Chains A and B, each alone.
Chain A
């Protein structure tokens, strides 16, 4: 019974075990650092520049919606209006920038990685590299993970800034708060620790979305239908794990 639980390909434990064992292969000494370096730079470009527009659009609207919704809840209450700036800032920094950006990136970057690596598996590119003596787990996966944990925190920082700007634009445009009040709110009750929390989330989520998506692509079996399924699983599992990790980080860092 216990053996089946670990050996059956349908078992979650089997995949958890395989994923953990696979990590040992990924972080081995590269055959040639310069080849890995080139690949890291290429991946940084793909993840960073490739996702810039979507991250900015989403962040702008998230900030704007947060400001408008909070302004609606404040109306007629006792809470001062400048609190809108404060709430938008903290909501964005503590939660929305990291979580929403990474959920979006799981859909965009994660599915792309799973499809790319799965395609390489199906077109025998991975076999070709292995016959040459390349550690494919390291050469294909490690640059993606390194690039992601460098670039995604930068995207999250940008998302936070754009989100706060979105809140500002929406507040001013709707007249729910004055420019001076919004800025006053932004400068009130600032806790630098919240920024640390944002970066911890960004690093952890970046690792989750890349490693889970790469795992789905690397071990894909079958044809185009299975590749599509792997790509979908990459997004779904990454999203679920990001939300679980979000909760755990929130518990640990706020306790």
Chain B
């Protein structure tokens, strides 16, 4: 479980996050949604420690993430995996070397065979076999996402963060990636936080949703609660597309 308490983040005069309280639950796919500029990416960066909040607390279970000592932070880092929007795969390394990178860096006691087995297991988990020796530039965008996920889970993390996992993917591949993340969350019982503005993701895997609007928490709930909600910010966001608006109006008769 990750909890943020009264989180504020400012860049100079501009306050991007204005006192957000939210709990990201274990074993669920937690979604941060909102329009561009709502503060989603900033919140995600605060959660993984790439930025520090101006005010407020971030709790990883019982650990005060903002005030951890360097040793505690280092230890916690081993429990964190992240899929970046642009995948952030190292171009000079093969798929296998990319996935093995965290193991090579931190699992000094693991033998080469054990590392190889772990890499193959992760590749199988993301349904991507036989591309071990290809470079990221030689595989498709969807496959790169899978490699990114495989690298994020190679150290068996307790917390998985995904920054816009569906960006740049066709709808079918996007659904597959969503299912993959959802399955991994359930199988390993981890806390998954996904930053997205993809409506399909919201309706498919949104078990615990946090809607940000102008730096504030505008709505929270599950995908089941989305359609019943009368929250204007939420409906504006969900039915922003003219096509969905027409569908809703048609359904309403």
On A, residues with C-beta under 8 Å from B are 31-32, 34-35, 123-125, 127-128, 130-134
The reply to whether B82 and A32 form a contact with Cβ atoms under 8 Å apart is no
Q: Is B11 an interface residue (CB 8 A)?
A: no
The reply to whether B88 and A133 form a contact with Cβ atoms under 8 Å apart is no
Q: Is B243 an interface residue (CB 8 A)?
A: no
**Most chain B beta-carbon contacts within 10 A, residue among A123, A124, A131, A134:** A131
The reply to whether B104 and A32 form a contact with Cβ atoms under 8 Å apart is yes
12 other A-B residue contacts (CB within 8 Å) besides A130-B50, A132-B106: A31-B105, A123-B88, A124-B88, A125-B90, A127-B88, A128-B84, A128-B88, A130-B49, A131-B82, A131-B161, A132-B155, A133-B73
Q: Is B172 an interface residue (CB 8 A)?
A: no
The reply to whether B106 and A32 form a contact with Cβ atoms under 8 Å apart is yes
Residues of A within 8 A of B155 (CB): 132
A124 to B82: give the CA distance in the assembly, Å. 11
A31 to B105: give the CA distance in the assembly, Å. 7
Q: Is B85 an interface residue (CB 8 A)?
A: yes
What's the least CB distance linking A78 to chain B, in Å? 60
What's the least CB distance linking A152 to chain B, in Å? 22
The reply to whether B102 and A132 form a contact with Cβ atoms under 8 Å apart is yes
The reply to whether A31 and B88 form a contact with Cβ atoms under 8 Å apart is no
Interface residues of B in 35-59 (CB under 8 A from A): 48-50
**Most chain A beta-carbon contacts within 10 A, residue among B88, B101, B108:** B88
Closest-by-CB residue of A relative to B90 is A125
Residue from A31, A123, A125, A128 within 8 A of B82 (CB atoms) = A128
The reply to whether B50 and A127 form a contact with Cβ atoms under 8 Å apart is yes
A112 to B85: give the CA distance in the assembly, Å. 26
Residues of A within 8 A of B101 (CB): 132
Q: Is B77 an interface residue (CB 8 A)?
A: yes
What is the interface size of chain B, counting residues whose CB is below 8 A from a CB of the partner?
23
A32 to B80: give the CA distance in the assembly, Å. 19
Residue from B73, B84, B108 within 8 A of A32 (CB atoms) = B108
- Taking A131-B49, A131-B80, A133-B78 as contacts, is the C-beta distance between A31 and B106 under 8 angstroms? yes
What's the least CB distance linking A133 to chain B, in Å? 3
- Taking A32-B105, A32-B108, A35-B105 as contacts, is the C-beta distance between A133 and B77 under 8 angstroms? yes
15 contacting pairs across A/B (C-beta < 8 A): A35-B104, A35-B105, A123-B86, A123-B88, A124-B85, A124-B86, A127-B50, A130-B50, A131-B48, A131-B81, A132-B80, A132-B101, A132-B155, A133-B77, A133-B78
Q: Is B74 an interface residue (CB 8 A)?
A: yes
A127 to B73: give the CA distance in the assembly, Å. 15
Residue from A31, A34, A127, A133 within 8 A of B84 (CB atoms) = A127
The reply to whether A131 and B50 form a contact with Cβ atoms under 8 Å apart is yes
What's the least CB distance linking A156 to chain B, in Å? 28
What's the least CB distance linking A43 to chain B, in Å? 12
A134 to B78: give the CA distance in the assembly, Å. 10
Residues of A within 8 A of B74 (CB): 133
A6 to B184: give the CA distance in the assembly, Å. 48
Residue from B50, B84, B105 within 8 A of A134 (CB atoms) = B105
Closest-by-CB residue of A relative to B76 is A133
Interface residues of B in 85-143 (CB under 8 A from A): 85-86, 88, 90, 101-102, 104-106, 108
Residues of B within 8 A of A31 (CB): 105-106
Residues of B within 8 A of A127 (CB): 50, 84, 88
Residues of B within 8 A of A123 (CB): 86, 88
What's the least CB distance linking A41 to chain B, in Å? 14
Closest-by-CB residue of A relative to B74 is A133
A133 to B81: give the CA distance in the assembly, Å. 10
The reply to whether A131 and B106 form a contact with Cβ atoms under 8 Å apart is no
Pick the 7 closest A-B CB pairs, nearest first.
A133-B77, A128-B88, A124-B88, A131-B82, A124-B84, A132-B102, A131-B48
What's the least CB distance linking B240 to chain A, in Å? 27
Closest-by-CB residue of B relative to A119 is B91
Residues of B within 8 A of A133 (CB): 73-74, 77-78, 80, 106
Residues of A within 8 A of B90 (CB): 125
Residues of B within 8 A of A125 (CB): 88, 90
What's the least CB distance linking B138 to chain A, in Å? 17
A18 to B77: give the CA distance in the assembly, Å. 26
Residues of A within 8 A of B80 (CB): 131-133
Residues of B within 8 A of A128 (CB): 82, 84, 88
Closest-by-CB residue of B relative to A135 is B74
Residues of A within 8 A of B84 (CB): 124, 127-128
A100 to B174: give the CA distance in the assembly, Å. 54
Residue from A32, A34, A131 within 8 A of B77 (CB atoms) = A131
What's the least CB distance linking B184 to chain A, in Å? 17
